[in-house]
Every structure is written in C-alpha cells, then in structure tokens.
Structure 1
Amino acid sequence: MPKRLSEASLADLPSAVVRPRYDRREVSSGIVHLGVGAFHRAHQAVYVDDVLAQDPRWGIVAASLRSPDTYDALEPQNGLYTLSIRSGEGEALRVVGSIQRVIVAPRAVEDLLRAMADPRTRIVSLTVTEKGYCHDPATGTLNESHPDIVHDLQNPHRPRSAPGFILEALRRRWVAGIAPFTVLTCDNLPSNGHTVKRVLTRFAELSDPAFGRFVADEVSCPSTMVDRIVPATSDEDRRRIREALGVTDVWPVVTERFTQWIIEDRFPQGRPPWENAGAEFVTDVEPYERMKLRLLNGSHSTLAYLGYLAGYETVADAMAESAFERLIAGLMDEEVTPTLHMPTGADLDAYKYALIERFKNPALRHRTWQIAMDGSQKLPQRLLGTIRDRLRENAPVERLALGVAAWMRYVTGIDENGAPIDVRDPMAAHLRERADRAGGSPEQLAGELFAVREIFGDDLPNDERFTGAVGAALVQLYANGSKRTVAEWSQPVRS
C-alpha cells in the first residue's frame, strides 16, 4: 500500500504536482477557521496558501465543531491535502499546506477557545452552513430557543455552537483588554456579515448588556461572497489521486477551475494580502452576494430537487438534458436577472454563461442529493427572496415557484417511484409529519408546508399569486413527474 501524504513524502511526489512554495516551519497562526469542510479546503484555505510565501503570519488553525473525520484524515498528514481541479480538459493536482493543525471542538473545547483568544489570532472565519448560525432564516435573527443557544447561554465556558465559541473567545479578549478579532463568514446567508453581527450582538446582550455593547461597537463582521463548486469526494476520486501521487491522501478535495471571493475590506487587526491571490475587495458586497445567491444557488437548488426527482444523480447529468438547461437559462434570464442591480462593469451575461458551463461540467460529479440537503435553511435565501422581489413588481414567478414545489415534493421523503428519500434537514421530522398529514394530496401538502413560518414567513402564505403558482406546479409534479414537467416548463412562460 502506498505511504501516506505528509511532510516526509512531499519530496516523492511527481514533478507535475504543485506543492507549498514556502517553508511551513516559518508559518504562524493568524486565522482560526470554524467548519473545516471540503468547501473551506477548496476555497479560503487555497487563497491563504497562495499568500503565505509573502506573509507567513496567516496560517490556519482549523476546527471541526461536530465530527472528528477531518481531524482523523489530516492529522497524520501534517495538515496537508490534495486539491484536484477537474474540467473536461483533465485534472491538475496541488498539495495545500495552509492548515497547520485541526481541532475537534467537542473533544478539545478549551484548546479551541485558547487558540481563538490568542492575541496572534486576528481573524476567525466560518463555513458552518446556514444552519450553523442558529438563526431564524425567515427573519435573520438569533433563534433564542435553539437548543445549542440555550445550552451555550447557560454554559458559556463549554459552548457547542459557532456563535457560542466566538462569543466566549471574544469575552475572554474583552476581559483581558485584547482587541477583538474580525469575524469573517463565508457562508450563503443574505448580507452574511450583517446577519452574523446581528446574531452575535443579540447573543452577547442576553449574556451581559455591557458585553453586548462591546460586540455591537467593536467587532467587525465584513460581508463576503464566495463561489466555487465543491462536490463530495468519492472513493473513485481517492483511488485516482492516489495513483497520480504515488502516496495515499485519505481526504483529497475535488473542485472546478472557477473560483471567486469578494470581500468587504473591514479588518481592524489586519488581513492577508488576498488580493494577490485573486480575491476582490469592495466597499459593498451585497450586489455580488445577491447575484450569486439568486443565480448560482437558486438555480442549483432548483436543479437539485427537480433533478433528483427525475432520477439524475448529478447536476451535470440533469444539465445534459436540453430541457433542464432551457429551464435554468429561462429562470436566470427572465425571473432572477430583473431583481439584480449590479455595479458598473459587472457582466451578468458572462456570469450566467459561465454558470451554465459550470453546471454542465461532466468532470464534477456534484450529486443532486448533496445539494438538496438543508433546504429549510436554504430556500429563504436562494428562492424566496427573489420571489418576494418579483411579487412587489407584480411579475411572474412560475419557474421560481416550480423550484419551491419540487422542494415540497422532495421533503415528503418518498420519490416518484415510491422509494424512500434520505432527507437531510434540521426540520426533516417536522416536514415529514406535515407531509404525512397531507395523505398524498398535493393541494393539502402545499397548505401544510406553507404554514411553516420559519421558512415562508407570514407574508408569502397569504399571497395568492405565490401560493397559486406553487400549488399549480406541485399538482403538475404529482400528475406528470419531474422529467415531463421540466420538459413542459422549459418552454417560454406565459405572462
């Protein structure tokens, strides 16, 4: 069996494999990252890796808030892992070395808090997915009844949640007179920096009003927009990369060539020179964030639910069908683009063209089931905000409503052939209970799910333009199935 990827085996790699261009022994930690998943390792960690030769003070201490899997994979590899960039033209391999060590938070709470409270830590970044912020997706405010928030308020020295860890570390710095770190969220939340600031401030106020004022006045939470498609790593990916490297990498990461990072430049304690790695610093990230959430993420979720129901394992499989491509192009052009207001120089047509080509990339096996996860948290940002804007303009929402209807059909937990769907969602049990009460009736199912205020709020369930469009689409999905429905809806929509 090939030996393991590590510092000792770097010299044995083939010459075509790119490896760190700096001495890792000279790197110190300036960033603590919460949520060390595949996306972080394919995106932010790569940007950091690109600039460590210029400024070695920005190495990463990466923390997993739940599972030890990433620690178990990377610890024997000295934090090293392989980045595979795949396209129709082939594969390029690179070893990334910016992660210095990994902490499993439940096993080492104090270790993680010490790292975050260390004066050398000037940025705490996050990729914990929408649900990791313990907020109400419909309002963007702290969910004060969330079990982890309740626990962390009662046990601040033993936090479980990302907000809990951040605030306990900030509190320690506040008491010690150490300047607060910048909180840099890289998740798909609307106005993500503002949302995180609102969540953290409210949490801090509940624990201590004076501390709440400190967080409100002194903690910087710049907004960001991140964009790179990162499918789950498969056993075939591991085998292929092992053969190319000549050593075993237990958890490589596979991604596409395209990458984008747009950041509001608000870092009181300093930041890495990420602009030298291709990041773009702006005064207001909101237009770019909205562009990505609505065009990429909204289309992705629509593809995921409709594609899964139609029997397609991956996004590329679905997009190989011309009807799916036409549907998504129409969704982007006719229903999403009119809601976007971009700065001068932003090329929406080029971005949309690139998205279609990225979705069609056969080398990326991005599973529809993976994208479909956590829909109750994603729908408000990816589809419902666009729908609200369209309704304010009294404009059609048919294709957007079809995406919502496909989600409703999906969360019943039973596919079009009567087989079970493994629905992964923090509200899965509640949604399934409501779906079961509907008894197979699409009309009753729509009514049951519209009543979930955490997703749809109070306004949309009372707007007949929205409920009528979603209800009609859901009836059609039940009657004709996803594949035939997409074929019919991919034609021009009647206004």
Structure 2
Amino acid sequence: MEKLCYATLEKQGYDGYLLKDAPERVLQFGEGNFLRAFVDYFIDLLNEKTGFNSKVVLCQPIAPGLADMINEQEGLYTLFLRGFENGKKVNDKRVISCVSRCLNPYKEYEEVLACAENPELRYIACNTTEAGIAYDPSCQFTDVPAESYPGKLTQFLYKRFEKFGKEAGKGFVILSCELIDNNGKELEKCVLSYAKQWDLGEEFINWIKAENIFCSTLVDRIVTGYPRNEAAAICEELGYQDNLINTGEVFGFWVIEGPEHLKKELPFEKAGLPVVICDDHKPYKQRKVRILNGAHTSFVLGAYLAGQDIVRDCMDDEVICGFMNKTIYDEIIPTLTLPKEELLSFASSVTERFKNPFIDHDLLAISLNSTSKWKARVMPSFKGFVEKSGELPKCITASFAFYIAFYHGMNLTEDGLVSSRPAGNEYTVKDDKSVLQFFYDHRDDDAETLTHSVCSNTDFWDEDLSKIPGFEAAVAGYLKSIEEKGAYEVMRDCL
C-alpha cells in the first residue's frame, strides 16, 4: 500500500481540499496529536474558507519526535473527528494539508533559526505540556538549542530581532495552548527572564514587549490520537498507508485573548469556526473548568461506587445523568458570569461529549488526584452557591461525600490506597502521598469523625470547611447513607 503523500492522493483522484504550496506564516512548537487535531485543523479550515493561504512549519520541542514521519508524508495526515452532535453520531474525515514540514531542533537547529528570517512568518503556536512553560536558569544562550521551550523561543526571537528589529510589524502573534493559567503571560515572563539573564540588551527587551503579542488562550477538545487498534482497517479503507492518523472529538472551542485587530488578521469568525478572540479569556476558562471538569469531578466517584466504569454508560443511566445535570443546571450555572444562553449551550454540549461512542473514558482515570480537582473545579461553585443563596447545594455536597467514600481505603501500597466497591471488586485510589496517608490513617473512623477530619484539613482546602454552617453535618449524613443504601440511592434522593 502506498504511503500518504500528494502524489498518492492525485493518483486516487482525491477531490477534497488540499493546499500544496503557500508561504510558511505559522511556526508551531509541538508536533503531537493535540496541536495537529486542533490548531492545524483550524488553520486548514481558515485556508479553505478565507484564503488565509498559510503553511505551518512544525518544530518538535523534545527529542525524539515525529519529524521524520511527518516529512515522509509531506506534512499530510488524516484527521477523524468523531462523536455526538445534535443527537446524531458523527464520524468526519479530513486530510489536513496546512503542514509544510517538521524540523528537529536537535539536528536542524540552524534551519529552525532560519525560519526567523522569513519575512512572512507572523504566528507562533505552541503546546509543550503544562511543564513546558518553565524558566530554567541553567539554560544558556549558547546552547544548541536551549533545553527549555521558553529558552528556545527566546533564541528564536533574538534571531528575528537581529534581522527585523528596526522594522515595525515584524514581531509575532504567539498563541500559547498549554494548560496552565494565563499561559501566554507566563510564557512572556519566562522569555523576558532569559533576555535579562543572557544580557541580550534593553533594546531587545523593549522589542519583545512592543512588537510581540503573547496571547493567553483556552483550548477545548478531547484528542484521542493514533487509533492503534483500528489503524490497519482504516488504512485499508482509505487506500493509503497513513502512519499519522489522528482522532479527536467533534467538539472544539478555542478562546484567544488578544487585541481587537487580531479578528481581521485571524478571520476565524468569518470562516464560521468556534474560535473567539476577546480581551479576557478567563470567563470562558471558568465556564469550562466549572461545568465540564466540575461535572466530571462531581459525579464520577459516586458513579464508580454505584458500579459504572466509563463515562458514556453513565449518560445512559437516568439517575446518574440526572444527578449530573441537576449539578450543572441548578448548582453550577447560577454561579457563573457569562450570558445564560452561552452557559446553557455549553452545558448541553457537555452531555453530548460525554456520550461520545468513540471514547471509552474510564472513571478511574478521571478519579486521579480528586482532592486537588475537587478544590479547583467544584469548590468555587460550592462557595458561589452558598454565597448567592445562603443554602447548601445538595448535589455538590453529596459529591463531597462520594469523594470521602471513594477514598476510604484499607490498604496503602506503593501504587496507591486500595479500597473496594460494594460489589466487592478492589480499586486503587491515586493521589499525592500525603493525601493517601491521611485517609489510611483515618481508615477506622466512623462517618462523623472521618467527615470532620476531612472537612477541617486545611492542607487540602486552604480553609476549614467544617466552619461552613451545616456542611459537615450534611456530608456526614450523606456518607452514612452511602454506607447504608449505596451511592446510587443517594444520587436518586438528590433528585
């Protein structure tokens, strides 16, 4: 079977959209599944729908990477977006043709820097994982290349400054997609720290600030990557060998915090794409964390104790799905600030996303580090509800009891805290060692004692939750009910 490339598609008589030649206007640090199913997908559609006419040159941020494989296929790969949309099962296929090539900076450092001398290059996108945006003072300007991503970016920006520093408008729009708060601003801080550490001069520092726009962004799409178990059958159906097949959910949403003029430069709105350019991305991030992630954290531990194993099956259970929806619509949405129509629309998409027939989203995988997740994703909604109504949110309070019940293990091992479901099968709770040790130390506590110990643990919550009127007693009551009737009946009672 012939490998995917332009010649192979031409032989097949492929009639889908392709852009073989265009200037490289985008440099992307990161060649992995997420960026290729998200940023490159949106740029490919911009090219088709608005004549954006841009190729993306990829730079793999770490060694080893996918550079050789990408170049063998001339940057082409097949993307499948699969899931539920408007109540219907969707399996969309698209050959992505916006990628020109991929560079390996550990072998082709000079070629990477040469991109900085391309006058048409305007945008830099990146997703180097949460750990990628970090200032490492051991990096030196003379490293080939610098080990950290911000170090590499600083080297690249300095090359640009040397070439075009005297011309206005030759800086970059930098789109940071890492999953940390204020990702763009944090990246800019790291770059400025290197500029100072390496004594690159005030003129360069001023150029960074004046000519470059570091955009914080919110990205939202589950990307499932290379479908290992299906790949052979998919290639047989496609009629070509594609070693870079990528898969993700249909839903995709990108919020870019930047100046108004970016809307003309990046005409996502004109193309009808779900990309918002605005002056503050935080309300959208709050919406995602509170509704999508908060819903996960609120129901999965109880659902697992009730006998479920994957998210999709939970959506087919009217009690569990009803509990999740009541949490979202009655207890989370009233605490948020975006227009209600936007919140309701996003909430309805969550249920469809959780029903995705192509993703077996394991409840135990979601349960990882639930202590910090409950604090970050659920507690703000809980406190917002109490502040607004003067009452305890029933479902969120019950979710705290599910959390305690799930973490009530009897055997601490190197892998985690071993507990068991009412049906008898064992599972392993995974969290920070200090958290697991705490629950192990309290393994013999009765419901009231355990609830008080968890609520009053300021190391977990940065405050004493037992001081919230009625909360501790309500949680202890739910915990007793879980022990007596089971998590499923407690969810039913909440409805």
User: Structure 1 length as normaliser, TM-score?
Assistant: 0.75
Equivalent runs, 1:331-342 vs 2, <5 Å:
331-342=327-338
Which of 150, 161, 171 is equivalent to 1:163?
150
Residue 435 in structure 1 maps to residue 436 in structure 2? yes
Bigger relative contact order (CA 8 A; separation at least 6): 1
Question: 2: distance between equivalents of 1:245 and 1:68?
Answer: 28
CA distance in 1, matches of 2:99, 2:179: 23
| TM alignment of 1:45-60, pairs within 5 A | 45-53=40-48, 54-55=50-51, 57-60=53-56
**Residue 26 of structure 2 aligns to a residue in which SS?**
strand
Q: 1:350 aligns with which of 342, 345, 357?
A: 345
User: Which residue is equivalent to 1:263?
Assistant: 256
- Asked if the contact 2:370/2:403 (under 8 Å) is kept, the reply is no
- Kindly provide the amino acid, as one letter, of the partner of residue 89 in structure 1: K
In structure 1, what is the equivalent of residue 270 of structure 2? 276
Output the CA distance in 1 between the equivalents of 2:436 and 2:456. 7
Alignment check: 8 A CA contact 1:414 1:420 kept: yes
Moved more, 400-409 or 351-360: 400-409
Q: Of 443, 446, 451, which aligns to 2:459?
A: 451
Deviation at 1:313, TM superposition (A): 5.0
Q: 1:190 to 1:491 in 2, by over 3 A?
A: farther
Q: Which runs of 5+ in 2 are unaligned?
A: 410-414, 444-449
- Equivalent residues of 2:174, 2:213 under 8 A apart: yes
After the TM superposition, which residues 47-86 of structure 1 pair with which residues of structure 2 at under 5 Å, given as runs? 47-53=42-48, 54-55=50-51, 57-66=53-62, 68-71=64-67, 73-86=69-82
Equivalent positions of 1:298-377 (< 5 A) are: 298-302=294-298, 312=308, 314-343=310-339, 346-368=341-363
Task: Note if 1:244 corresponds to 2:237.
Answer: yes
Judge which range, 470-479 or 257-266, deviates more: 470-479
Cα distance in 2 between the residues matched to 1:434 and 1:283: 38
Cα offset, 1:59, TM superposition: 1.4
Name the aligned partner's letter for residue 75 of structure 1. N
Q: Which amino acid aligns with 1:230?
A: V
User: Secondary structure of 1:451's match?
Assistant: helix
Aligned length: 460
- 1:9 is matched with 8
Q: Deviation at 1:39?
A: 2.4
Match of 1:151 in 2: 138
Quote how far apart the aligned CAs of 1:305 are: 5.7
Provide closer, same or farther for how the CA distance between residues 336 and 29 of structure 1 changes in structure 2, counting only shifts above 3 A. same
Whether the 8 Å CA contact 1:194–1:222 is kept in 2: the answer is: yes
Preserved CA contact (<8 Å) 2:299 2:323: no
- Kindly provide the CA deviation profile for residues 389-411 of structure 1, in whole angstroms up to 9, marking residues without a partner as x: 45665664526646876896799
SS in 1 for 2:256: strand
> What amino acid maps onto 1:220 in structure 2?
I
Alpha-carbon separation, structure 1, partners of 2:57 and 2:327: 40
Relative to structure 1, the CA distance from residue 318 to residue 44 in structure 2 (aligned partners, 3 Å threshold; closer, same or farther) is: same
Residues 178-203 of structure 1 show CA distances to partners (whole Å, capped at 9, x for unaligned) of 34312212344444444444554456
- Select between 306-315 and 234-243 the one with higher mean Cα deviation: 306-315
**SS of residue paired to 1:89:** strand
Distance 2:51 2:319 in 1: 49
CA displacement 1:72-110 (0-9 Å, x = unmatched): 543322221111132353523211111222234555555
Structure 2: which amino acid aligns with 1:276? Answer: K
Matches within 5 A, 1:163-312: 163-178=150-165, 179-201=170-192, 204-205=195-196, 208=199, 210=202, 214-266=207-259, 271-277=265-271, 278=273, 279-302=275-298, 312=308
Change (3 A) 1:119 1:14: closer
Distance 1:379 1:207 in 2: 41
Contact 1:387 1:400 in 2 (8 A): no
| Contact residue 312 and residue 357 of structure 2 kept, 8 A | yes
CA contact (8 A) 1:64 1:104 kept: yes
Residues 1:349 and 1:57: Cα distance change in structure 2 (over 3 Å): closer
Letter in 2 for 1:172: K
* Structure 1 pair 234–379 and aligned structure 2 pair: CA distance change class (3 A): farther
Structure 2 Cα separation of the partners of residues 401 and 251 of structure 1: 42
1:372-430 per-position Cα deviation (integer Å, ceiling 9, x unaligned): 67879877754455456456656645266468768967994646344557x6xxxx7xx
- Aligned partner of 1:32 in structure 2 is 27
Q: Could you tell which deviates more after superposition, 286-295 or 270-279?
A: 270-279
Code of the aligned partner of 1:324: I
Q: Letter of the 1:158 partner, please give it.
A: P
Contact 1:316–1:360 (Cα < 8 Å) also in 2: yes
CA distance in 2, matches of 1:155, 1:377: 39
- Return closer, same or farther for 1:407/1:127 CA change in 2, 3 Å cut-off: farther
2:16 corresponds to: 19
Alignment of 1:88-107 (within 5 A): 88-106=88-106
Does structure 2 conserve the Cα–Cα contact (< 8 Å) formed by 1:405 and 1:474?
no
Task: Give the distance between the partners of 1:300 and 1:162, measured in 2 at CA.
Answer: 31
